[in-house]
Structure 1
Amino acid sequence: MAAAITAFPIALPNCPDSCGNVKIPYPFGTTEGCYLNDTANIDDGYYFINCTSNAQGQPQPMIWNLNVTSISMELGEIDIQMYNSIDCYDQSGTPLSPNNTATLYVPSFTVSVTKNKFVAVGCDT
């Protein structure tokens, strides 16, 4: 007789476990009462995933205003996409658009030295 495989929920009971095609495991969650909310932590909503719609009207999970592409509890990783920072000048050296310097602040999470990619292209980068 073969042992039955039991699938355990990844979210708390009665809580959504995905946003679009991204699985949202606890301690993360998309609604109040579904994520770990440590009130002693100054970053209230630390594990809150905002399930919003992207420009195409598809569900897009967001954390700290960054796109979430996957969460792996097995690996202890959350994959995000940052925006592009643009710093362009015309031939006389005048900025073409406001400088929007990219910053990454994710408290208590670390940036992987082997898995992250930061790319700079052009002069003065």
Structure 2
Amino acid sequence: MGMGFSIIDSGWTRPKYPLSRQSQETFIQYSLSAPMWSWRAQSDTWRLGNILRSRILDGAPWHNEPLSDVLPSGLKSLPRIYGCETCRTLFIENHSDYPDVPTQCQCGEASSTGDQNESSALNS
């Protein structure tokens, strides 16, 4: 009963072997944050609870979960999430891959970015 989402920060480069000063090999680290919402029956509201944090170490030798396993189309496949301060609802930019997700808040404020299939839509 709510909208679940994760926030993915754009990746940054880290050395693959930090103790070896000779190595020029790198990998990309992405940080993920997933807000957990809780329902308050007494006040009939949703409240932000904990935020679960995780990461993807794309290309790290000790980590075998590449970004392509989680997001086969990469970060460009993700729509940007917006929030309305007036009615406190979340909505996404217009995106043809997500036809059933709201693209405007309850007040009528629409995302003005258009379809973003061709350009990067990093959620950071």
Instruction: Report if TM-score (shorter chain) is over 0.5.
Output: no
Bigger Rg, structure 1 or 2: 1
The TM-score bracket by the shorter chain reads under 0.3
Structure number having the greater helix percentage:
2
More RCO (CA 8 Å, sep 6+): 2
